[in-house]
Structure 1
Amino acid sequence: MSYQLTQRQNHKSISSEQSQVLPLIGVGLRHVHYQDALTSPFNIDFVEVHVENFFAKGGITQAILNDIKAQYAVSLHATSLGLGSTEPVPEPHLKRFSELVEQVQPILVSDHACFSWGQLNDLTVHAGDLLPVPFNQESLAVMVANVNKVQQQLGRRILVENLSAYITPANSTMSESEFLIELCRQTDCRLLLDLNNLMVNAINTQAAHSKQNGTHDKATKPVDLALAQLYEFPSHVIGEIHLAGCSPVGETGIMIDDHSQPVSGDVWRLYETALTRFGAVPTLIEWDMDLPDWQTLCQQAQLARKIAKQVLPCH
């Protein structure tokens, strides 16, 4: 089934010829920045809000959401659908999710390639985290069914984000890239390619191999591993790009995707390559912890815009 992206007519639309224009550049909007975002837009094309923060009906949160969508194009990003869960998303949860999509008419809707829902003492519970799934046919069938159900409920295509994972699930029979590409083929969804997650996973994979083998491969840089994975994705499956920062865990060599830092130099390098390969894909800066002021956050977005102008030949 093919899903058409709904657009708000009073905002910039997402061009089907992405390689011929500059990308929409946005930022993740958190509560400490609401007032600044409404008074000092800083040439931001769109904002992303977390769906779950606006599940409550009425009250101040809905008033804020209405103010935001009156000024910006909005992307709705979820963390609770658990698209890889064998336990289906509870119907009341999916219904409220669908109501918000109808209310906001976002330019993009997204969640993660993870599982979150399960059974505990005969109750359906949410793990409160984004848990990795094994990359095999069984997991793929579950995620395909869930993505199809969500898209049918919403009447539109969603984006599925690659995960930063700190454990390697057993029983994988394919790579992450193969898994996600096949998910897109079977559901007509698109990928939200998080370049920081690619980078974090590359760093942590190399650290794990070094610990296991007692050696450190200085010849292979994590950014080269991340670039190799980036090249595995065909351009037509990429619907959005996330950029963020990360933090080291002491001297362990492990990196945490905590969104508490500016975008790293290696992730900017990945972004340049992604623009060359995928064209003018909507791009979002994420910053969720140790939040900077609004101006600093927007400066990261303007750096993404500057890079896009330098890299893309037609604008």
Structure 2
Amino acid sequence: MPRAATQATGAGIGARQPHYAELIERSPPLGFVEVHSENFFADGGAALAVLRELRARYPVSLHGVGLALGSAAGVDEWHLQRLERLVRHVEPALVSDHACFARAPLAPGGAVLHGSDLLPLAFTEASLAVLVRNVVQVQERLRRPIAVENLSAYLSFEDDAIAEAQFLAELARCSGCALLLDLNNLMVNARNAGGADPLADCRAFVDALAPGSVAEIHLAGHDDSGDIVIDDHGSRVRESVWQLYRHTIDRFGPLPTLIEWDTDLPALDVLLDEAARACGMAEALPA
């Protein structure tokens, strides 16, 4: 089968194991599919064979959860080697990870522990310098820019000194990376902050980013049934997030947009319906 185009366009979905066979068999029209990079680090095997089949049909976005780009301990060499090899093999449309830390030494000068989570950064000049350094290292190794995603975070730091939007804008300016703008994460954070108008706060965040700095958008559902709002990727995109999406593409124009759904996976057609809605909103933009 001929290799799919290398540019992500329109709307895509996360390719998850329960949908692999149906995605390959039906090959529904999608702008791209996204997979978690770390699931394909092994040598050969069924997972990599599936990824080859998907890559023959669609542009692929490699979305990582383990680089821990904001870690003062630096980027893990083994992880970067595996990612570099996967990028060469897949020729992805996009490569991304998160503005977070996860790696730290157990003791000064000791072994480095990976916390296996996306832990938030302090928005300070020092953490920005660490993040820029690590992003530049990854980009030089992969010989391409990457996109860095904003987090949903459930705590902040007393020494925060830079607004998050400005922090990410400076990251993009200093490192040459792009941004992966997760609109659901913005909404979760805004709602948990308790402001009078979370949607207005999110719009202001979007407006603080420079046109051309965003390479991809993530849309997802969240759980607001408890005391705090949880970014659980387990339901349809909320109407408030769709409103924010409209504002975002009005500002930046159509961008590759992922429907991110990782828990309580629905039928494939539900994901395709959400992707179709994103496409319809982009197509409705004034020419």
What interval of TM-score do these two structures reach, taking the shorter chain for normalisation? Answer: over 0.9
Distance 1:195 1:103 in 2: 30
Structure number with higher relative contact order (C-alpha < 8 Å, ≥ 6 residues apart) = 1
Distance 2:38 2:236 in 1: 25
| Other-structure match for 1:305 | 279
Alignment of 1:97 onto 2:73: no
Distance 2:72 2:220 in 1: 30
Distance 1:272 1:71 in 2: 28
| Other-structure match for 1:213 | none
Deviation at 1:272, TM superposition (A): 0.5
Alignment of 1:35 onto 2:21: yes
Q: CA RMSD in A?
A: 1.4
3-state SS of 2:212 partner: helix
Any gaps of 5 or more consecutive residues in structure 1?
1-7, 15-22, 207-216
Match of 2:7 among 7, 13, 16: 13
Alignment of 1:70 onto 2:46: no
1:190 partner amino acid: A
Identity of paired residues, percent?
Answer: 46
Distance 1:138 1:42, change over 3 A: same
1:13 partner amino acid: Q
1:281 partner amino acid: L
Distance 2:86 2:143 in 1: 13
Deviation at 1:41, TM superposition (A): 2.6
Distance 1:12 1:112 in 2: 22
1:119 partner amino acid: P
Deviation at 1:120, TM superposition (A): 1.8
Deviation at 1:249, TM superposition (A): 4.3
Deviations 1:65-113 (A, max 9, x none): 1111111110000000001000112211110110001100000000000
Match of 1:272 among 246, 249, 252: 246
Give 1:66-145 correspondences, 5 Å limit: 66-120=52-106, 122-145=110-133
Match of 2:10 among 5, 24, 33: 24
Paired residues of 1:132 and 1:169 also in contact (CA < 8 A): no
1:11 partner amino acid: A
Paired residues of 2:104 and 2:114 also in contact (CA < 8 A): yes
Distance 1:246 1:32 in 2: 21
- Structure 1 runs of 4+ aligned residues shifted over 6 Å read none
Deviations 1:38-59 (A, max 9, x none): 1123211110000011111111
Match of 1:191 among 164, 168, 179: 179
3-state SS of 2:187 partner: helix
Paired residues of 2:31 and 2:256 also in contact (CA < 8 A): no
Paired residues of 2:36 and 2:65 also in contact (CA < 8 A): yes
Provide the aligned length of Structure 1 versus Structure 2. Answer: 284
Paired residues of 1:190 and 1:238 also in contact (CA < 8 A): yes
Any gaps of 5 or more consecutive residues in structure 2?
none
Match of 1:261 among 223, 235, 245: 235
| Other-structure match for 1:149 | 137
